[in-house]
């Protein structure tokens, strides 16, 4: 079972750290393709599955393609609900207050992350699944 659909890119960060650089978002996904896909299960509880995704520009949006095992019930829930959150985590590091000039600072954590919210489209035709799997394998081999 494959997932593919244009996604709106939304990053939740303090305003002074927020990036609207679409190319930077594509670079983060390319360098860290393992996403956490989050959506509700049959009881409405949050459920997550890690899956590698490939990002493609699609007009003014983003198309993410990936694959989920048929044995994983998450694909069915996602296709029924129609919405998904894909979380990509990039590099991160603890920042000690010792790195600041003033001792009045508190520790923090620097990180790169992308939250992509969007629609789920199930690809179930044999030829389409085969083509998708070939694209994914070609990207990661």
What tens-digit pLDDT sequence spans the chain (141 residues)? 333 444 444 445 677 777 778 888 889 999 999 999 999 988 989 999 999 999 987 777 788 999 999 899 999 998 888 889 999 999 999 999 888 887 788 888 888 888 888 899 888 899 999 999 999 999 999
- Predicted pLDDT at 87: 95
Contacts of residue 43, Cβ cutoff 8 Å, sequence gap at least 6:
none
Query: pLDDT at position 15, please?
Result: 73
Helical spans, DSSP H, in 7-65: 22-31
Q: Phi then psi for 119, rounded to 5 degrees?
A: -90, 150
Q: How many domains, the chain?
A: 1
- Cβ distance 13 to 33 under 8 Å? no
List the domain range (segments joined by +) for residue 50: 2-140
Please report, for the domain that includes residue 35, its CATH number.
Answer: 2.30.110.10
Cα–Cα nearest to 79, from 92, 89, 70: 70
Predicted pLDDT of residue 59:
77
Find out whether 20 and 141 touch, Cβ atoms under 8 Å: no
Q: CB of 87 within 8 A of CB of 38? A: yes
Gyration radius from the chain CA atoms: 17
Residue 127: strand, helix, or coil: helix
């Amino acid at each position: 079972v494959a997932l593919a659909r244009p996604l709106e890119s939304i990053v939740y960060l303090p305003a002074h750290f927020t990036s609207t650089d679409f190319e930077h978002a594509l670079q983060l996904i390319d360098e860290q393709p393992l996403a956490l896909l989050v959506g509700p299960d049959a009881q409405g509880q949050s459920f997550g599955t890690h899956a590698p995704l490939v990002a493609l520009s699609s007009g003014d949006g983003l198309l993410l393609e990936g694959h989920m095992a048929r044995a994983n019930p998450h694909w069915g829930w996602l296709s029924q609900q129609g919405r998904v959150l894909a979380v990509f985590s990039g590099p991160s590091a603890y920042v000690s207050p010792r790195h600041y000039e003033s001792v009045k600072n508190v520790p923090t954590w620097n990180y790169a992350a992308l939250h992509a919210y969007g629609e789920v489209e199930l690809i179930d035709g044999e030829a389409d699944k085969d083509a998708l799997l070939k694209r994914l394998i070609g990207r990661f081999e």
